[in-house]
Amino acid sequence: MRDRVPWASSWTGIAGGATPALVLAGALVAAHAVLFADPYGLRVLTVAGVYALAVIGYQMIFGKAGALSLAQGTFHGLGAYATGIVGSQLGYGFAVTFPVSILVPTVLALVIAAPVLRLESHYFALATLGIGQVALLGAVEWQGVTGGSNGIAGVAAIELFGWRPGRGLPLALFVWALVAAGAVIAWRYGRGWRRLAFPLMRDNPAAARALGIDIDRLRLETFALSAAYAGAAGALAAHIQRVVSPEVLEFPVMVTILTMAVIGGRGRVGGAIAGALLLTQLPEWFRGWERGYLLLYGVVLLAVVVAAPWGLVGALERARRRWLPERPRPLPVPVDPGPRPTPPFRGPMLYVAGLSKSFGGVRAVDGVSLWIDRGEILGVIGPNGSGKTTLINLMTSLEKPDGGKLYVRGVEMTGMPTHRIARGGVARGFQMASLPPDGDALDAVAAGRAMIDKDPSSAAAHALHFLTLTGAADLARTPCSVLPPGSRRRVELARALARQPGALLLDEPAAGLTEAEQADLAGQIRSAAASGVAVLIVEHNMPFLLPLADRIICLDEGRIIAEGTPDAIRRDPAVMAAYLGPSHPEPAHPGPA
Ligand SMILES: Nc1ncnc2c1ncn2[C@@H]1O[C@H](COP(=O)(O)OP(=O)(O)OP(=O)(O)O)[C@@H](O)[C@H]1O
């Protein structure tokens, strides 16, 4: 039977698998609001809705993209100020203030994205924190526009085309209707190819890039989208409170948003709603405890973090899986995608000329030139630190070369971003097979098709074809986290082949495999080469490599010191002196027939 929602292993619903529980919770909250809540309770519920919107946005950049942004509070504050200025000072209503408040932080996010999104995680956090400080200073100092420390008063109530949701239930319902719309948009955004791209991007950005995923662009759009949500929440907050003061730009707003995201369940839309509801209700429940209030509040938060490190929705999901185990998802019918059309070219599949790279005083790769033809298997050997991995990194642009040229299928791709080189036809494996932490083997291979088949069900059907081709179809529904090393390699190879590359670069693929697994892997690599793929294998395992390679080059101190057939290489005096030693191990599996 065809799997109709093949991408949906951990995102089976808005809440990530806890949809029924959340719908029930939502119904209870709505029933409580309609039947029992007093005006104050409705106000708290309205505030919870405003926060929920900001936190749903935050789940995208923090939860899904995995970037610890500390700018969400600032974006929320900017949205509030935009409404204050456009609404109170220029006299426009909600129909104008709302889109403007969304636009202002979104544009700011796009402007600051280029410098900050490239930073390492802790520097990124600091940079986004700095943006908040600048915004706060601006709000206080730019008195003519922002009202300085006094802020802006007299913001009008929400009014949309003559309709004004009155205080109490109508306003609460209006805000929560926007939350529901925001939740659906965020849920849709996190599905499809992004569902597989996000975990890879969080876990191993290099592997994601090597699959052709443009993670810079994905981060950028996610950052901008999260800012848009914060701006929308800021607009609502300003219209509801009727004033805007510099407090909306202060750090506690950011801390509240972050806490709600973590307590509710990181990366989950339902978690944003649960966190916002809980954290706005908690102070109300404990208000009667006078001095003990803050202590109790802290103890409850701590208890939630300790008892449910995956957040409330994560804990719900786990409990549901424990008590109501899911039936295994049906597999799609495997479909051979057929050959990918490529423009005709002459010459080798992959060609590098004079590639060089230094790290400080270390010349890791020093003027290396090589080519690989269609169907050829080129081995690269050399002592530790001789530049083999750096060479592959240069050929996939994970490192930028100091000099030299790279041609793929006859097209010069020197210095192009990794995802472009991947899309140009180069696939690679890593020393540690890098599979997404969540999801099963089929998801992992489908991620390899994510940039080729925009339709998720075709990607899954094609992915199963390549898993079958590498003899790993029985692993399709096995979670990647429990795959043993040999199976991980197989799945990684299936994912690389699923990209239907012209060239396949493998970095120590036999490491950690048993002899039987090595022989099996050698067979898979031979079949790939037989289908026309140009293969480059970096390997220390000579019994694995010598019978497999058509040609071998040996590197030492970043330079090619020998090149030839496996037989010639194992007898080469320079190779023996630098690397192999006087004797060499016997092959572990038979050579090509
Ligand atoms: N990012 C980096 N920063 C600084 N030095 C680096 C970096 N990457 C590699 N090097 C240095 O470049 C040289 C070549 O390293 P590389 O990892 O390419 O060697 P290798 O032949 O793949 O080694 P091994 O067989 O141990 O994997 C080494 O001296 C290494 O320390």
pLDDT (tens digit per residue) in 472-504: 899 999 999 899 988 998 999 999 999 999 999
CA of 503 to the centre of ligand 1 (A): 23
pLDDT range class, residue 585, cuts 50, 70, 90? low
- Asked whether residue 535 carries a pLDDT value surpassing 70, the answer given is yes
The domain segmentation of the chain, as residue ranges, is: 19-323, 350-425+501-580
Which of the listed residues 357, 390, 430 should we mutate to test ligand 1's pocket, taking the one with most ligand atoms within 8 A of CB? 390
Name the 3-class secondary structure at 347: coil
Find all residues with CB under 8 Å of 86, minimum gap 6, and list them.
Answer: 92, 96, 97, 100, 101
pTM equals 0.85
In 393-499, DSSP assigns E strands to 403-408, 411-412, 426-428
Q: Is residue 420 packed enough to be buried (19+ CB in 10 Å), middle (13-18) or exposed (0-12)? A: middle
Q: What does each C-alpha distance from 38 to 25, 33, 42, 44, 56 come to in angstroms?
A: 19, 8, 6, 10, 27
Q: Is the C-beta atom of 389 inside 6 A of ligand 1?
A: yes
pLDDT of 1 higher than 80: no
| Centre of ligand 1 from the C-alpha of residue 393, in Å | 10
Nearest ligand 1 atom to alpha carbon 508: 27
Choice from 362, 539, 557 to test ligand 1 binding pocket (greatest atom count within 8 A of CB): 362
Tell how far the Cα of 103 is from the centroid of ligand 1, in angstroms.
45
pLDDT digits (tens, 9 = 90+) for 69-121: 999 999 999 999 999 999 988 989 999 999 999 999 999 999 988 888 877 77
Average pLDDT over residues 213-225: 93
What pLDDT was estimated at residue 28? 74
CA end-to-end distance (rounded Å), the chain? 39
Is pLDDT of 568 > 80? yes
Q: Are 140 and 148 in contact (CB under 8 A)?
A: yes
Q: What is the 3-state secondary structure (H, E, C) of 224-280?
A: HHHHHHHHHHHHHHHHHHCCECHHHHCHHHHHHHHHHHHHHCCCCHHHHHHHHHHHH
Residue 2 binned pLDDT confidence (cut-offs 50, 70, 90)? very low
- Is 351 strand, coil or helix? strand
How would you classify the pairing of strands 377-381 and 534-538?
parallel
pLDDT at 592: 46
3-state secondary structure (DSSP) of residue 364: strand
Residues 411-427: what's their mean pLDDT?
94
Question: In this structure, how many other beta carbons lie within 10 angstroms of the beta carbon of residue 40?
Answer: 10
Tell me the CA–centroid distance for residue 385 and ligand 1, in Å. 5
> What pLDDT sits at residue 11?
33
Residue 332's nearest CA partner among 438, 434, 445 is 445
- Per-residue pLDDT, 582: 66
pLDDT at 589: 57
User: Which residues, including other chains, have CB under 8 Å from residue 111's CB and lie 6 or more apart?
Assistant: none
- Predicted confidence at residue 505, as pLDDT, reads 96
The per-residue pLDDT of the chain, averaged, comes to 87
% of the chain exceeding 70 in pLDDT: 93
Residue 487 Cβ < 6 Å to ligand 1: no
Residue nearest to atom 12 of ligand 1 (CA): 364
Nearest to 236 by CA among 324, 330, 156: 156
Looking at the predicted structure, is the pLDDT value of residue 312 above 60? yes
Of 327 and 131, the one with more pLDDT: 131
Q: How confident is the model at residue 401 (pLDDT cuts 50, 70, 90)?
A: very high
Q: Residue 544 has what pLDDT?
A: 94
Q: Phi then psi for 147, rounded to 5 degrees?
A: 80, 10
148 lines ligand 1 (CB under 6 A): no
Q: 462 CB under 6 A from ligand 1?
A: no
Encode pLDDT of 177-216 as tens digits: 999 999 999 998 988 888 888 988 888 889 999 999 999 9
Helix-, strand-, coil-residue percentages of the chain, each rounded to 5: 55, 10, 30
**pLDDT tens across 23-82, in order?**
666 677 777 777 777 888 899 999 999 999 999 999 999 999 988 899 999 999 999 999
What average pLDDT does this structure show over 440-466? 91
Residue 465 backbone class (left: φ over 0; alpha: ψ -120 to 50; beta: rest)? alpha
Q: Say if residue 543 is exposed, middle or buried (CB neighbours under 10 Å; 0-12, 13-18, 19+).
A: middle
555 C-alpha vs ligand 1 centroid, how far in Å? Answer: 12
291 token code pair: 């001095």
Query: Which strand (E) or helix (H) includes residue 397?
Result: none
Pocket of ligand 1 contains residue 387 by CB under 6 Å:
yes
Tell me the average pLDDT across 512-525. 90
Q: Which CATH architecture has domain 350-425+501-580?
A: 3-Layer(aba) Sandwich (3.40)
Whether residue 390 has its Cβ less than 6 Å from ligand 1: yes
Measured in Å, residue 363 CA sits from the centre of ligand 1 at 10
pLDDT of residue 20: 58
Residues 6+ apart with CB under 8 A from 135: 74, 77, 78, 249
C-beta of 382 in contact with ligand 1 (< 6 A):
yes
Please work out whether the CB of residue 385 comes within 6 Å of at least one atom of ligand 1: yes
| Residue 254 confidence class, pLDDT cut points 50, 70, 90 | very high
Closest Cα to atom 6 of ligand 1: 359
| Sequence-ordered alpha helix ranges (H) in 117-250 | 121-141, 143-146, 169-189, 193-203, 205-210, 215-241
Looking at residue 586, its pLDDT comes to 54
Alpha-carbon gap, residue 492 to 498, rounded angstroms:
10
For ligand 1, atom 4, name the residue with the nearest CA: 359
Arch. (CATH architecture) of 19-323: Orthogonal Bundle (1.10)
- Alpha carbon distance 228, 234 (integer Å): 10
| Cβ–ligand 1 contact at 386 (below 6 Å) | yes
Ligand 1 pocket mutation pick from 365, 386, 430, 580 by most atoms within 8 angstroms of CB: 386
Q: How confident is the model at residue 9 (pLDDT cuts 50, 70, 90)?
A: very low
Lowest mean pLDDT among 1-5, 111-115, 366-370, 532-536: 1-5
Cα separation, 151 vs 156, whole angstroms:
15
Model pLDDT, residue 15: 41
Q: Which atom of ligand 1 is nearest to the CA of 558?
A: 14
Task: Return the pLDDT at 590.
Answer: 56
Q: Say how far apart CA 476 and CA 88 lie, in whole Å.
A: 58
Q: Quick one: which atom of ligand 1 is closest to the CA of 540?
A: 25
